[in-house]
Amino acid sequence: MKGASLRVVRTWRAALVGLLVPIALGSAAQTPLRWEGSPNPAPSSATPSTPSAQPVQLATASPVRSQGLVPNPLPVAPGFDVRQFEDMAQQLVSDQRIPGMAMAIVQNGRIVSMRGYGITDTRAAEPIDAHTVFRLASLSKAFAGTMTGLLVNDGVIRWDSRITDYLPDFHLQNDYATQRLTVADVLSHRVGLVHNTYDRDLEGNMDYRALTQRLAFAPSACLPGDCYGYQNVAFSLIGDVVFAATGTFYQQEVERRIFKPLGMDDASIGLEGIEASPRWAKPHVRGRGGWVSMMPKPAYYRVAPAAGVNASISDMAQWLLAHGGHRPDVLPAPLLATLHAPLVSTPTELRGTWRRQRLSSAGYAIGWRVYDYAGHQVVFHAGAVQGYRGMVALLPERDLGIAILWNSESSLPSGLLPSILDKAIGLPAQKWLDVEPFDEGLYAERNAPASPSDTTGTDASTATASPK
């Protein structure tokens, strides 16, 4: 019986690798890493029984995103007015409910809003503007996936390349698991480890190299490729792969291939990068007298692919436009289709205030989450590290992109994102925020229960680089 089960898993694995193999030079190398077939394929005998390993089925909106672009996107719903959301953002920083934030909204290839709100530092206040730099935390993961995809596009790396092809000294618990782990597995959190393996040790200032060596002894939840387990340390192996494949440090490759061509002039990687910025938002934690600014902690900067990027909202507007398909000279459409294709189900994402009410399915792609948001596909990621939070979302069918960054541990601005999505789609108004836009009745209860993934008010030792 065990032999039969192993044969089934191997058959499924071979089938998945078969979908990853068609990699050649140029943009033709990019084929979506998704299961083929109808939107709701019948279960196959080769499909594993583990729920988290099942293909992610998203409700298909019309028109369907094709190769990273929607040829004729739907207009946003009547009454969508960015001034509402700007007004709501301004109210969020009133009386230092939060110290500061920045927001960008892009639509149909245009930046329709890009502003800063509040202040950089409660101790030495300067106004936040479009070029104020924030720490992105786990929003960095999409940059890692995109960087890798560019190298796949060049024919330098394959999605199904084994990690040991580039890191021969790398080990998991056993040789079979070690040899099985692929580039796509790492970038979609299918390493086979339990969630957030060694994050606490990273927060305790253990060296990244030492932690990667300890992965040889880390407890496993499944074989690589068979289940989802969110990682920061293991995810950052992709930076080592980039170096091994190119001979150039990961940071330099991201700057050369992404930041510079997209015009992300304020963006950087690492603690030194944010501290060298002409203007940057200090992280804030709650104190007895209100918000207290501090210096950024270095721990998660040690895992740069997972959590190392810094950027302004001006940078993020360019990032949204590129991932919306409007910079094919840098990010070709087939690459976008690959990056945004869900690979593994993430049912824990269905928890939380707005997620619980709006999402019917969730999956992880290549550095991005993909949601069925009330029947509409949303490409999303959030990030959180001590004193910073951020959210990015793309609504492909409406060619809409949203980025929200803030410099505190408050969960308060999180409700702004579903407020914008609902308005764009034309969904009935919900009480996501406790502020009232100047001309609409989107009222919300104060002190709404936070998502279980929030780390509001927690100590640095419990804050991770991204919600689980």
- What's the pLDDT at 69? 56
Interior/surface letters 430-464, b for 16+ CB within 10 angstroms, e for the rest:
bebbbbebeeeebebeeebebbebbbbeeebeebb
421-415-267 Cα angle (round to 5): 80
Instruction: Kindly report, residue by residue over 231-286, the tens digit of the pLDDT.
Output: 999 999 999 999 999 999 999 999 999 999 999 999 999 999 999 999 999 999 99
On average, the pLDDT of the chain sits at: 83
Q: Name the pTM for this structure.
A: 0.82
Element (H, E) at 117: strand 110-118
Q: How far is CA 14 from CA 9, 166, 182, 334, 335, in A?
A: 9, 21, 13, 23, 23
- What's the pLDDT at 436? 60
Residue 393 above 50 pLDDT?
yes
- What's the pLDDT at 16? 36
Task: Name the residue among 415, 417, 413, 411 with its Cα closest to residue 431.
Answer: 415
Instruction: Kindly report, residue by residue over 198-224, the tens digit of the pLDDT.
Output: 999 999 999 999 999 999 999 999 999
Task: Look up residue 76 and give its amino acid.
Answer: V
Higher pLDDT, 369 or 54: 369
Domains along the chain?
Answer: 82-144+265-462 (3.40.710.10)
- What's the pLDDT at 296? 97
CA 332 to chain centre: 19
The whole-angstrom separation of Cα 332 and Cα 153 is 9
The whole-angstrom separation of Cα 267 and Cα 378 is 25
Instruction: Kindly report, residue by residue over 144-180, the tens digit of the pLDDT.
Output: 999 999 999 999 999 999 999 999 999 999 999 999 9
